[in-house]
Structure 1
Amino acid sequence: MTLLHAASREALASAELKLLDLAESGATLDTVGDELFGVVGLLTREAGLRRPLADSSAEPERRADLVRRLLSGKLSDDTVGLLVSVVSARWSNPRELVDGVESLGRTALLVAAERAGTLDTVEDELFRLGRIVAADGELERLLSDSAAPAEAKLSLLRSLTAAKVDPTTEKLAEALVSYPRGRRAVEGLEELADLAAKRRERSVAHVTSVVALSEQQQDRLAATLTRIYARPIALHIEVDPDLLGGMVIKVGDEIIDGSAAGRLDAIRRRLAG
């Protein structure tokens, strides 16, 4: 999601609290998430609807009434009530209103997975799916093609995920492919995996290793990074034989390069300088 201006950040924070209230009240967040993504599609297609819903010069109740007239009876009461709260707040522009609804849809599905005890699985599957797509340029091109029919892209995605991933993983990936909103498939899948990790209150270390790490090695590495950064760290691991040896670890903007290739590059730079 793009960075939000101050008014939109405040509006989204308020809506997220409302969403968590729904979770505490026993709302079916899977349904809420699905319906919110449907609204993202509607608002993406209908510019004439985005503008009045995000028009801060109009009375909030007028915007809320528009949501009720359009969606009551078509979506669950929980989703309509949440959207009434969303449009009653002040958003910086129509684009950021849609960004906010999309963010709420993702959060709803991730919270549902968290409560079902499957959030670890969802995070791992999103990351692995992103790696599969990244490794096949033609696959990424097809899934990222904004001009291609959504159904064709969904059919291709389902050929990769059918009966192999958690339903939350499938829903998040399908929403991304259906409503890319300027994102390429790999970028969007990486963003979703990071969101899942953050939902677990952990930072993400992107690890590239010359060989696959055993479960014991992964545990030791995660423990070491947790001590270094003083917070829990989730590992996303890729194998790249071109490293020649060792590994490269990226946490946020910081890169720890312990690979043979990295050391060779450092030696070359010293010789050149």
Structure 2
Amino acid sequence: MSSATRQSNAAARERLEALTDRASVDTSALSADLQAVTGVLDREIGLRRILTDPATDGQRKADLVNSLFGAKIGADALDLVTGSVRSRWSAPRDLVDSIEQQAALAEIIGADKAGALDEVEDELFRFGRTVAGSNELRAALTDNAADRTAKVALVERLLGGKARPATTKLVASLVSQPRGRSLESGLEEFSRLAAGRRGRVVALVTVAVPLSDRQKERLGASLAKLVGRPVHLNIEVDPAVLGGVRVQIGDEIIEGTIADRMDGARQGLVGQ
């Protein structure tokens, strides 16, 4: 990510945080509006090029956004989008990525205000595990030829009444507008955004048997001390690890399972 895009993303995040600090803001409606703008800009290559052209005056770009979206989205979303197009972006797609991220963050902030952010994080992770374990479900949700409305309806049948509304809406946004990424990577991205809301990092923990609450607390405290930040644990039970624990934080893997030690022993024997 270039410095221009990084700075513009940071400015967009600050505007969103300031806006959603107001109790009167409907974060769900704001998210839906921003998601709608994302869809238009994702389809209209020429438009996003115009809106990110550094040679075009920022006010002219803001006026264009007003003329296109002013009657279709709320004033809060319009303010955020016009603020974004006034910023500098290294590539046209960066603008669309940023607006989509703002849409997801609006839902996440709403869940945080409702005291439901931990649940949303857990539900995103569990849904990702469910999709990973069912080729049929994954195909139904990611088929580019399938009707988007039908895919969203499937998500609502799967999660409606069983998960937080923010979770359902976030997953629905991914299946309706995948934008060239896998469903799994989109879910991971939203999980990172949710964890980042509280300054946390996400740790994928794989164990042979479920952990007790006390074990989770001790592991979370140990990992937080290791990385210097609070840690949200996504725990996956896999008997194949044979005991111990495997932890992945970003690209870093901490391997302490019996299976891994056995593999190491076997490799040592082969090398003798």
Q: In 1, are the aligned partners of 2:4 and 2:88 still within 8 Å (CA)?
A: yes
Q: In 2, are the aligned partners of 1:18 and 1:82 still within 8 Å (CA)?
A: yes
Query: Equivalent residues in 2 for 1:101-250 (5 A)?
Result: 101-250=99-248
Query: Equivalent residues in 2 for 1:10-29 (5 A)?
Result: 10-26=7-23, 27-29=25-27
| TM norm structure 2 | 0.94
Q: After the TM superposition, which parts of structure 1 deviate over 3 Å for at least 4 consecutive aligned residues?
A: none
What is the DSSP-based 3-state SS (H/G/I as helix, E as strand, rest coil) of the residue aligned with 2:145? coil
Q: What residue in structure 2 maps to residue 9 of structure 1?
A: 6
The one-character-per-residue Cα deviations of 1:200-249 (angstroms, maximum 9, x if unpaired) are 21122111111111222212211222233332111100011111222211
CA distance in structure 2 between the aligned counterparts of 1:78 and 1:116, rounded to whole angstroms:
20
The one-character-per-residue Cα deviations of 1:186-210 (angstroms, maximum 9, x if unpaired) are 2211221122112121122111111
The one-character-per-residue Cα deviations of 1:77-126 (angstroms, maximum 9, x if unpaired) are 11111111111111112111101111111111111211121111111111
Q: Percent identity?
A: 45
Q: In 1, are the aligned partners of 2:121 and 2:195 still within 8 Å (CA)?
A: yes
Post-superposition offset of 1:150: 1.0
CA distance in structure 2 between the aligned counterparts of 1:129 and 1:188, rounded to whole angstroms:
12
AA aligned to 2:66 is: R
Post-superposition offset of 1:37: 0.6
CA distance in structure 2 between the aligned counterparts of 1:50 and 1:148, rounded to whole angstroms:
26
| TM norm structure 1 | 0.94
Q: In 2, are the aligned partners of 1:140 and 1:186 still within 8 Å (CA)?
A: no
What is the DSSP-based 3-state SS (H/G/I as helix, E as strand, rest coil) of the residue aligned with 2:246? strand
CA 1:222/1:69 → structure 2, altered by over 3 Å: closer, same or farther? same
What is the DSSP-based 3-state SS (H/G/I as helix, E as strand, rest coil) of the residue aligned with 1:231? coil
Q: What residue in structure 1 maps to residue 94 of structure 2?
A: 96
What is the DSSP-based 3-state SS (H/G/I as helix, E as strand, rest coil) of the residue aligned with 2:72? coil
AA aligned to 1:37 is: Q
Gap runs ≥5 in structure 1:
none
What is the DSSP-based 3-state SS (H/G/I as helix, E as strand, rest coil) of the residue aligned with 2:167? helix
CA distance in structure 1 between the aligned counterparts of 2:133 and 2:209, rounded to whole angstroms:
17
AA aligned to 1:202 is: R
CA distance in structure 2 between the aligned counterparts of 1:260 and 1:82, rounded to whole angstroms:
51
Aligned residue pairs total 270
With 133-142 and 163-172 compared, the bigger mean Cα shift is at 133-142
CA distance in structure 2 between the aligned counterparts of 1:251 and 1:19, rounded to whole angstroms:
27
Post-superposition offset of 1:5: 2.3
Q: What residue in structure 2 maps to residue 67 of structure 1?
A: 65
The one-character-per-residue Cα deviations of 1:123-170 (angstroms, maximum 9, x if unpaired) are 111111111111112222222223322112212222211111111111
CA distance in structure 2 between the aligned counterparts of 1:28 and 1:251, rounded to whole angstroms:
33
Gap runs ≥5 in structure 2:
none
Q: In 1, are the aligned partners of 2:191 and 2:202 still within 8 Å (CA)?
A: no
AA aligned to 2:182 is: R
Q: In 1, are the aligned partners of 2:205 and 2:234 still within 8 Å (CA)?
A: yes
CA distance in structure 2 between the aligned counterparts of 1:93 and 1:229, rounded to whole angstroms:
32
AA aligned to 2:152 is: L
AA aligned to 1:163 is: G
AA aligned to 1:108 is: A
